[in-house]
Amino acid sequence: MNKAVKAAVIIAVLTLLFAGAAYLIVYLSGFRIIKYASDSGETRFFGKIGKDGEPSTGTVYFADGGKAELDLPNNTITYQDGTVYVGQTKDLLPNGKGRLTFSSGEYYDGDFVNGQMTGYGTYVYQPAVGDRYEGFMENGLRSGKGKYTWADGSYYDGTYKNDMKDGEGTYIWADGSSYTGTFVNDVKDGKGVFVYPNGDKYEGDFVADVREGEGTYTWTSGEYYVGQFRSNMMDGHGTYYWTSGRSYEGTFKENKIVWELD
Mapping DSSP onto H, E and C, the string for 86-117 reads: EEEEECCEEEEEEEEECCCCCEEEEEEECCEE
Pairing of strands 155-161, 141-149: antiparallel
Q: Are 248 and 239 in contact (CB under 8 A)?
A: yes
Name 248's bridge partners.
240
Confidence of residue 28 (pLDDT cuts 50, 70, 90): very low
3-state secondary structure of 17: helix
Confidence of residue 234 (pLDDT cuts 50, 70, 90): very high
3-state secondary structure of 209: coil
**Going by C-beta distance under 8 Å and a sequence separation of 6 or more, which residues neighbour residue 250?**
237, 238, 257, 258, 259, 260
**Going by C-beta distance under 8 Å and a sequence separation of 6 or more, which residues neighbour residue 88?**
75, 94, 95, 96, 97, 98, 112
Instruction: Round the CA-based radius of gyration of the chain to a whole number and report it.
Output: 32
Confidence of residue 32 (pLDDT cuts 50, 70, 90): low
Is the pLDDT at 130 greater than 80? The verdict is yes
Q: What does the pLDDT average to over 18-40? A: 56
pLDDT in tens, 169-219: 999 999 999 999 999 999 999 999 999 999 999 999 999 999 999 999 999
Domain 152-262 = CATH 2.60.40.420: no
**Could you tell me the end-to-end alpha-carbon distance of the chain, in angstroms, rounded to an integer?**
123
List, in sequence order, the alpha helices (H) in the chain: 3-28
Q: What does the pLDDT average to over 70-82? A: 94
